[in-house]
Structure formats: C-alpha cells, structure tokens
Amino acid sequence: MKVLAIDTSNQPLSVALLEDEQLLATMTTNISKNHSVTLMPLIEELFKQTKMQPQGIDRIVVAQGPGSYTGLRIGVTTAKTLACTLKKELVGVSSLEVLAGALAHTEGLLVPLFNARRNNVFAGGYRDEKGKLVQVFADQHIGLDKLCELLKVYPKVIFVGNDCTTFKKQLLEKMEPERIFFASQNFAYPQAYILGLIGEGKVAVEVNSFVPHYLRLTQAEAQWLKNHRETDHEPYVEKI
Amino acid sequence: MNKQRDLILAFESSCDETSVSVIEDGNKILSNIVATQINSHKRFGGVVPEVASRHHIEQITLCLEDALNQAGVGYEDLSAVAVTYGPGLVGALLVGISAAKVVAFTHNLPLIPVNHMAGHIYAARFVKPLVFPALALLVSGGHTELVYLAAPNSYEIIGETRDDAAGEAYDKIGRVLGINYPAGKEIDRLAHLGKDVFSFPRAMINENNFDFSFSGLKSAFINTVHHADQVGEKLDHKDLAASFQQSVVDVLAEKTVNALKKYPVKQLILAGGVAANSGLRERIERELKKFDNVSLLMAPLKLCGDNAAMIGAAGHVAWKAGVRADMSLNADPSLEFSWIK
Ligand SMILES: [Zn+2]
C-alpha cells in the first residue's frame, strides 16, 4: 500500500510517502510560517523526489486534531480533497497519537500534549500493547490542574511533545516527581512517517463528512448553547 | 471533433457561502453549487469567522462533486482551476484555496487566483459582455467602492468607503429594528412602503472625491430611534427604513454620477450583494438615462450574493491574461485593487 501522510496540526509540518511500512520520502519543517504556503510545495517535492504520480497512491492519512484550528483545516481540506479528487482512501489519526506513536514499546502511560493556552492543554492517554498503541483515555481539551488530577492513578506517566517544556516546572510541582518522565527531545515533533504507519492499520472513512477533531466548540456556539438546545434549529447549511 | 471548450472549475469560500462552479467559455454556467450558512450565523446576529471556517470544511468536497456532476464533466475536461484568494475571512478563504490547489496539482491544471471583488463585477458577465472602458459600483456587506475598468482584467479603485460598507450599515440598523441578520432584503421591502420623513445625513455627498461614509448615517439612525424610545414615542419602521435607504441610495447614486462625469465610460456595472436592492437598482436606472452613451449592466439578482460562478467568469478573463498562481498561493484577507493613478 502506498500512503501519503500529512500533519499540519501544529507549528511543525510533516509530510511523508510510504510504501508497505517502508519510508520513501519525508520532510518536516518547524518554522512559524503559514502552512498554506508550505504544504503543497512540499507535497509536490515528495512526488518529484520519489518519481511517483499522485494517482499512484492508495491512501491519504492525515493528523485530524487536536491542534491549531487553521493548521488542521489546511491539512484536513488538503487530505479530503486529495481523497475525493483521486478517489482514494482517507484515514484520520489523532495528532496526539502521532506523538505517542514514536514511543511505542515504552512501558507506562504515554501522555502527549499540546499547549492550548491559558494553562490548558490538549492531551490524551495511550499505552503500548505489543508494539501497538491503545487509547487509555480520550483526547481532550483540559486544564493543567485537572489533567494532573486525572493522572493520579497511574504509577508511571511519560509526557511527550515539544510543548511539555512549557509545563515541565508546573508538572513537577503538581505531581510526585518520581512518577513522571519527559520523553527526550528527539520525540518532541510529529513525524509523518509514524503517522503513515499508524494510518496504514486503520479503517478508511467516508470522505465528504470528514472534519477536524477540534475538541472545542467555538466561543459563539458555547455561548449560544447556554440558552438553546442543539436540536432546536433549522439545518445550519443549505444548498440554494 | 468538438469545438474546444474552455472549462473553468471555480471555488469561492471567502465568507459564509461555500460554492463550486463549472463555467464554459467564461460566460455560461454549467453548474453553480452554493451552500449557504445563513441559518447558522443567524444564531449570532452576524458571521462568526471560526464557525464559518468549520462549515466550509464540512461542505467543500460535497460542493465539488455536485458541481462536476451537475455540469456533466470530469477532471479531464477542465482547462483551469480558479479560486478566490481575498478579500475575506482568512480561515474561510484557506478552505477554498487548499481544495483548489489539490485539484490543480493532481490534474495538472493551471491555478488562477481571483480577487473576490473582480468576481462580483464579472457576475454581470452572465447577462452581457463587458464593454470597456467601464465603471463598476460595487456594494456589498464588506465593501463599497467605485472601480474603473480600462480593459479586461484591469481594475482600479477611484473611491471607496472610509468606514462601514453599505451592507454592514443595513445589518446594523436592522438589529436596531429587530430584523434578523441579514437585514437588507427586509429593509428594502419596508422602505418601499414608507416615506423619507427623517432626512438622515448624506455623508460626503458634496465632497470633491468618490469616497463614501456610512457610519454617520448609522449613528444618526440609532440616535433617532433611541431618542424616540426615551420619550416613549413609537416611530414607524417603514418610514425609518425608507429614510435610511433614501440616504444610502442618494449617496451611492450621486457619487456614481460624478464619477461617470469625470471618467467617461461605455458601461456602468452594478454589482455586489447590495446590488440586489431594488431601491438602488431603480435609482441608478433613472440616473443613467441622463447619459446617452453609457449602458447599464446589472448582475443578475441570483448572482449578486457570493457564488463561484462569478469567480469562474473573472477567472476566465484572468486566465486569458496569463495570471497564474503556484502551489504556495496564500489567502490575502485584505486584498484590494490598486488605486487609479
Ligand atoms: Zn462578496
């Protein structure tokens, strides 16, 4: 199976072409530039380097969130349009699972996290099961204090991701230091190769209804839901 | 062998409509799929950018498939892909741009970046060919401007609003009258039933330029209503709407007439969401009778709002003029035509 993998969920951008679990080509950047400018030129370059045609791929795998809303939309729109226009399979993988994926075969609870500002994080809990990751608790948008509370019951917790440095001091204060570990910097950034490997093992999804996992309502919607019921409305989008 | 057709696949997602269209030879609509989010944004009394972006991504490939199916064409039949890259909401624009880039890349098609406002002007192309030089009065929720078109694919601003766009003013006073967003259509209807009894200000009408201002009018309107509320007086909404609309139409018409005097053109094009306003259409039609050699071209009512057909029409002209974008195309939320020299 030939796979194109795309992760634009945060500042790092990573793309890869795989064939049957082998890496053909990958590129990763971590410059604070708009992914809209960078993503397609890099995909173009991947195909050029591998002398492959877009039609030659079987599956597109994309990091579906959580992460930066704009970043996710660029990646997911690109991935779903590729799947739609080339009539290929589409698979979404948690952006957090991509980070944890680099540490499969590690004992303990893997907790990848992204900074979600105001001392909130996007975090999930994963554990190794014979070289494959299984989810222990769902990806969520959560306050740092609440996360520490949630992690109380786990004897060994390994935090993963570049944003961990932002919270390291707090985490060491709030949790028993002997229980927590921080994955080294070589696992700090998402790798599209790992994303592709995870995506090869998942079931393809319906393309048109595929959307990012933002894990957060917009402020306007949250406000609206305080006084309304979600079922209480006309269809939000209509063809005219 | 069939005559070679130019087939443009166009994307538009700059605000709260997701639209994909297939246009033949720049002037024939084979399909124009428009998914509007109005029901969603009604909840908030206006377009919420993040909500808009989220809806676009739900709709984009559905609209793409529908547009091709309805047009009865495949990717192999296409000549180019056109897409709005500004002005508009950045997150919303990026959905259309990302999709358009993928289609252009995977099917080896040229990618044509289109200014949304050029699209509004070219909505009129589906009625009749444009004749140059031309002048366009563009009035929408986000923009109010006079644009000079010396030749195809040439757009120069000669005047624009210094504050609110005309359409924005409609929505804001609509809120004061308790009219749901978007308020333009209902105010237009009420205006036809009332009279201009309040004589609201006509801002900048006598100034020697082609710029507009609608924030003073909006404030005068709101003050009038609030003052009446305080003294317990009930004002007739029909007369309020008529007075407001008269002021807007007077300013737009007057400035347009002055512009026609300074820049002799063969055609006046009326375009943009507010160009659907019947008060404005009637007035411009009347004024134009005084100009013997200027024909009036109005965008069809159903193409006054945002849609991809108009982007395809403007995209066709840009394509013929050699305009191309590469895979690094980005959204430009504050994209503007340049000013006339
Ligand atoms: Zn518009």
Nearest CA in chain B to A237: B37
**Closest by CA position to B22, among listed B317, B312, B300:** B312
What span, in angstroms and rounded, lies between the C-alpha atoms of B60 and B100?
Answer: 10
Same domain, B198 and B236: yes
pLDDT of B28:
98
Same domain, B155 and B280: yes
Same domain, B152 and B231: yes
**Closest by CA position to A163, among listed A62, A28, A30, A15:** A30
Q: Is residue A76 within 8 angstroms of chain B, CB to CB? A: yes
Q: Is B66 annotated as a binding residue?
A: no
Q: Is B326 annotated as a binding residue?
A: no
The structural domain count of chain B equals 2
Q: Is B146 annotated as a binding residue?
A: no
Cβ partners under 8 Å of residue B57, min gap 6: A73, A76, A77, A80, A211, A212, B95
Look at residue B2 and tell me if it is in a domain.
no
Same domain, B92 and B150: no
Distance B117 CA to ligand 1 centre (A): 7
Percent of chain B surpassing pLDDT 90: 84
Overall average pLDDT of the B123-140 stretch: 96
Look at residue B261 and tell me if it is in a domain.
yes
Distance to chain B for A81, nearest Cα, Å: 6
Q: Is residue A29 within 8 angstroms of chain B, CB to CB? A: no
What is residue B329's DSSP assignment? -
pLDDT of B4:
86
- For residues A239 and A157, the model is more confident at A157
Same domain, B172 and B246: yes
- HSE, CB side, 13 Å, CA atoms: give it for residue B158: 22
Q: B10: which 2 tokens?
A: 């166009």
What span, in angstroms and rounded, lies between the C-alpha atoms of B148 and A40?
Answer: 35
Reply yes or no: is the peptide bond before residue A177 cis, omega within 30 of 0: no
Q: Flag if A77 and B106 touch (Cβ within 8 Å).
A: no
Got the DSSP string for B27-90? Answer: TEEEEEEEEE-HHHHGGGTS--HHHHHHHHHHHHHHHHHHHHHHHT--GGG--EEEEEEESS-H
- HSE, CB side, 13 Å, CA atoms: give it for residue A197: 20
| Residue whose structure tokens are 């795998």 | A61
Q: Which residues of B touch A81 (CB under 8 A)?
A: 60-61, 64, 98-99, 102-103
Same domain, B229 and B316: no
Look at residue B192 and tell me if it is in a domain.
yes
Q: Which domains does chain A have, with CATH numbers?
A: 2-95+191-227 (3.30.420.40), 103-187 (3.30.420.40)
Cβ partners under 8 Å of residue A20, min gap 6: A1
Q: Which domain holds residue B26?
A: 7-122+304-339
pLDDT of B1:
44
Same domain, B316 and B273: no
Overall average pLDDT of the B269-278 stretch: 89
Alpha helices (H) along B192-306: 215-230, 237-262, 278-288
What span, in angstroms and rounded, lies between the C-alpha atoms of A81 and A208?
Answer: 9
- HSE, CB side, 13 Å, CA atoms: give it for residue A169: 2
Look at residue B142 and tell me if it is in a domain.
yes
Q: B297: which 2 tokens?
A: 């071209």
Distance to chain A for B13, nearest Cα, Å: 12
pLDDT of A232:
64
B52: left (phi over 0), alpha (psi -120 to 50) or beta: alpha
Q: Is residue A31 within 8 angstroms of chain B, CB to CB? A: no
pLDDT digits (tens, 9 = 90+) for B54-105: 999 999 999 999 999 999 999 999 999 999 999 999 999 999 999 999 999 9
Residue type, B81: V
Out of A31-40, A190-199, B116-125, pick the least confident. Answer: A31-40
Look at residue B1 and tell me if it is in a domain.
no
pLDDT digits (tens, 9 = 90+) for A46-94: 999 999 999 999 999 999 999 999 999 999 999 999 999 999 999 999 9
What span, in angstroms and rounded, lies between the C-alpha atoms of B228 and A186?
Answer: 69
Rg (CA), chain B: 20
Could you tell me the CATH number of the domain that includes residue B215? 3.30.420.40
Mean pLDDT of all residues belonging to chain B? 94
Same domain, B86 and B112: yes
> Is the Cα torsion angle A188, A193, A194, A195 positive or negative in sign?
positive
Same domain, B117 and B31: yes
Same domain, B174 and B224: yes
Percent of chain B surpassing pLDDT 70: 99
Same domain, B44 and B170: no
- Nearest by CB to residue A77, choosing from B50, B95, B330, is B95
Overall average pLDDT of the B289-312 stretch: 94
Reply yes or no: is the peptide bond before residue B87 cis, omega within 30 of 0: yes
- Please return the burial class of A116, using the count of CB atoms within 10 Å of its CB with bins 0-12, 13-18 and 19+: buried
| ipTM of the predicted assembly exceeds 0.90 | yes
Same domain, B161 and B281: yes
What span, in angstroms and rounded, lies between the C-alpha atoms of B87 and A139?
Answer: 35
pLDDT digits (tens, 9 = 90+) for A100-147: 999 988 999 999 999 999 999 999 999 999 888 999 999 999 999 999
pLDDT at B295 over 70: yes
Q: Flag if A36 and B98 touch (Cβ within 8 Å).
A: yes
- For residues B326 and B276, the model is more confident at B326
Overall average pLDDT of the B174-187 stretch: 89
Rg (CA), chain A: 19
**Closest by CA position to A84, among listed A207, A204, A199:** A207
Distance to chain A for B117, nearest Cα, Å: 21
